[in-house]
Amino acid sequence: MEPTPTINYDFYFNSNEWFIIASLLAGYALIFFLPKRFPLPLSMLFIIIGVNSGIVFDHTISIPPFDFYDVNDSSYFELFDFLSYIQYGPYGYLFFYLHSYLKIKGYFNMLYIVMWSIIAMFTEGIAAYLGVFHYKKGYVFIFSFPFYFYIQTITLVLYLYIMKITKLPEKYPPHQ
């Protein structure tokens, strides 16, 4: 199998890098300033789950054998590709935070997953417009929806399990 040649989309510091920086700063600032709903270890776990979800999603379909899109300025891994993965952390944390805050139960969990899949699509659309994603091989934006739905379903099941087995100290708001 022949290696895929490196594709360069641009060579400048421009909208895709600014989007990642702004998303990182806004997302982590929001986490910092929101009232605390979880102990620090759980908060860190939820951020890591968000980062990991982004990595798993991107590395499932953006590398061979699928290779459906490139991230940022080239098909080669670079610093801003790494930073783009870290920007998924606040999205993961907010996914858990809002679920707890809204006290979602039963069939509303499905609606919550659909809502977050739409938020993910909206964010991806902006990112693609600004040059963070470059689709190839016939991949189109709407193909991402089932991946978001699947990953967020698994993530919510994991969150519900974590909250079921975790006994939170009294100083944190009730989560049930």
**Angle, CA of 130, 83 and 26, to the nearest 5°:** 70
pTM summary value: 0.89
Burial code of 124-144, b = ≥16 C-beta within 10 A, e = fewer?
beebbebbbbbeeeebeeeeb
102-145 residue pLDDT tens:
999 999 999 999 999 999 999 999 999 999 999 999 999 999 99
Distance CA 86, CA 84 (A): 5
Contact present, 6 and 75 (Cβ < 8 Å): yes
Q: What are the tokens at 140?
A: 């189109």
Q: Which residues contact 54 (CB under 8 A, 6 or more apart)?
A: 84, 85, 87, 88, 91
Q: What are the tokens at 86?
A: 């870290």
Residue 64, SS3? coil
153-175 residue pLDDT tens:
999 999 999 999 988 877 777 76
